[in-house]
Each structure stands twice: as C-alpha cells, then as structure tokens.
Amino acid sequence: MYVLWLLHPKHELRIVIVDKTVLTKKVQEHISLNWLLKYRKYSKDDMRLYNPQKDYYGFFPDERGGYKIKDFEMYDSTKMEKIADSTDIVYYTDMYGIYRAEWDEMYSKEKKLPSYYAMERSRLIYGGMTYKELDLLKKFKERGKLILTEFNIIASPTSGAVRRDFEKTFGMKWTGWTGRYFESLDTIKNKEIPMWVKRNYTKQHFGNWPFKKSGIIFVREDDRIEILEKGDHLEIDIPIIKTLEPYSSEYDLPDKIEYPFWFDIICNNSTNIQVSKYRLYPTLAGSDSLKRWGIPEYFPAVIKSKDNSKPFYYFAGDFADNPISYNLSKFYPINTFKTILLSHTKQERNTFFWMFYNPLIDKILNDYHKNKKWNK
C-alpha cells in the first residue's frame, strides 16, 4: 500500500491554512486536512508536500513553554495582494486560540496544577479572527478562489464587528449559540465538562445540577447555559447530521451520521445552499425548552455559495479536529478499508472523519483542482 502511494503523482495545489488553536505539535485542529493533502499528494508550488507542523499561519508552540506567532498582521497591502494572487485555496480551521490556563497546565514548570485548572476560563494568549484575516477572505472571494471556513472562526474571541462583517460578506449569521454532546453529564465522572459551564449553570438555575446521563450542553455568547438530557429532554441524545440528495451522492456522504463534538448554530440566507443539516430529537419537554431558548431543531451543518464562480463553504462544527493517525495517509488505498477503522463509541470522532469529513473535503479539493487545470 505504501508503494502504491509512492507511485502516485503529486498535484500542485497552493493552500493557505490558518489555525490559531495549536497547543502542541500534534496540530490537532488541522491534522485532518493535512492527512488528506498528504494522502492525495497535493503539493506546494515547489512540489514539496505540506508539513502540518510548519505550513500554516497562526500559533506555533515549541513544546518547551515558548511559542511564536506567524500571521498576516505585519504584512502590508502589497504582500496581502500577493498571497491572494499566488494561492488557490484558503482554509481557516480554527480561530478559538490559546488561553492561559490550558497553556500553563501543559507547560508550567511550577508545582503540579489541579486537574480542573485547564477547564477554567482564563486570559486569552492569542486568538480570534482579525480584520486583516477577514480582508484576505474578501480578496479570495473577489478572485473567485476557494474559501473553506469552519467553527470556531466567528464566535468568541472574534470581535462582534469582525463577525458581523464576515456574516454580511458571506450570507450567514451566527445565532450566538454553540453546543456539544457529552457522553455523560455527570461532572464527577466526566472531567471534559468545563468547570465554568457547571458554575454558570448552577448560578442561573438555583444551584441545581441534576444531570447524570448523556446529553447536549448549549452555551450562548453571554454565557447562558442550557442543557438537554437523554430521557427527559432528548429521545436521541446526540446531534445527527443529515444530508439529502443530491448532495449525499455528490459528496459521497451518508444520509445521516452522529456528530459528537462542538458545533455552532447558524442561519443561512438565499446566497448559500444548505448541503447538510443538524437534526435534534427532543421530547415534548425538550422541544418546549428549545423554543423558549430560541434554538431550532434543524439548523445548517454545511453550507456553500450558490455562485460557483465564488466558491465558499462554512462547516458549522469543529470538523477538522479528529484524532486520526497521520501515518495512515501514506497507505493507498486506505479509504477502501475504512470500515475497519471506525470507532464504536459516540464520543470518538474517527467515524466522523472517515465517513463525513474525508469524503466531503476530498470531493471539494478534487473538483477545484480539476477546474483549475481545465481553466488554465
């Protein structure tokens, strides 16, 4: 399989990747994209393959407690124009950034910090989309080049002004809500639930945290917390992404798949097409709660521009963040055997990578590369 991969030719495809949420050199927030770039042997203009630890803009930890930042803030307008002219694709994978608590837990040389430390709110070190980064997206749109974006690029810590400009430019709107499925809402058993979530919820709900089963935590931009638990509020405890025809066939996507990680709730307008949508399955009590909070039972998961001459995609979830083995990208055709690589628990995201993210991005990049060659 490795020999077959070596025999495949390289394909030049110049891509700008921006990731501000890189805590370690595992580059978890964009490794799924780089897996596919390597598997398909998409290369830079010098025909070298992309290095996931080097070939991006954003935050670069040295894993010794230091870091450097490489972004566009020091570039003048001439340099920004040159990037837009010389690049085929831009993909903003994550703008959430790095916060002091998680950084200290990972790299602090002081005495061991408490286990819950990284799950607390803390000062932002680096993150959020800037006006200059938004301006680069506008330059790509003007040139009709492919724009790929996903959660979290317009939620906190991106400023409201930048967010509204992005929404106006690309025909969508964030409702202010984000959410995530948790296999257990019992904070004693599940240490992945942030401490500030429980603290805010109990403050807002008379000190109560009665949850023990699985369910979905919703967080509003003003820190309002609402929770739906399996049984009382949810018939199916996990959000389902549904893709109807013709898009399930066009992108080789399943008609439905569970999504176990962070997502944002957005509204689409007439300039975009909904490729896939989230579906929640509340009970009557859960449905009443959703209506009270202004959260729909259906909302977009993947949207794309109607205008194919200005291709734009937004993925309303942390789609590029999947725990996969990068080394498998050199085994061709590993996609043929993907069924043996699927995870068997809801919380794991391997299944989402193999069945949804991988075929979706593969189709988008392949089509764009073919059109690029045809239009030369």
- Check residue 333 and give its pLDDT: 79
- Check residue 331 and give its pLDDT: 83
- Check residue 119 and give its pLDDT: 61
- Check residue 376 and give its pLDDT: 54
Residue 223 within any structural domain of the chain? no
Question: What are the strands, taking DSSP E only, across 120-204?
Answer: 124-126, 146-150, 172-182
Residue 357 within any structural domain of the chain? yes
The domain in which residue 136 lies consists of: 2-173+267-276+296-374
pTM of the predicted model, to two decimals? 0.94
Residue 121 within any structural domain of the chain? yes
Asked whether 173 and 266 are in contact (CB, 8 A), the reply is: yes
Residue 222 within any structural domain of the chain? no
Residue 43 within any structural domain of the chain? yes
Q: Which secondary structure element, helix H or strand E, spans residue 133, and what is its range?
A: helix 131-142
Both structure tokens of 58: 């954003």
State the total domains in the chain. Answer: 1
Residue 325 within any structural domain of the chain? yes
Cα(320)–Cα(360) distance, rounded to whole angstroms?
A: 11
Cα(323)–Cα(68) distance, rounded to whole angstroms?
A: 24
- pLDDT per residue, tens digit, the chain (376 aa), is 788 888 889 999 999 999 999 999 999 999 999 999 999 999 999 999 999 999 999 999 998 999 999 999 999 999 999 999 999 999 999 999 999 988 988 887 665 655 555 566 789 999 999 999 999 999 999 999 999 999 999 999 999 999 999 999 999 999 999 999 999 999 999 989 999 999 999 999 999 999 999 999 999 999 999 999 999 999 999 999 999 999 999 999 999 999 999 999 999 999 999 999 999 999 999 999 999 999 999 999 999 999 999 999 999 999 999 988 888 888 887 777 766 666 666 667 889 999 999 999 999 999 999 987 555 5
**285 in helix, strand or coil?**
helix
Question: What are the strands, taking DSSP E only, across the chain?
Answer: 11-12, 15-19, 42-43, 57-61, 67-70, 89-94, 98-99, 124-126, 146-150, 172-182, 215-220, 225-229, 234-242, 256-258, 263-268, 272-282, 298-305, 312-315
- Check residue 116 and give its pLDDT: 53
Strand partners, 273: 304
- Check residue 122 and give its pLDDT: 83
Residue 78 within any structural domain of the chain? yes
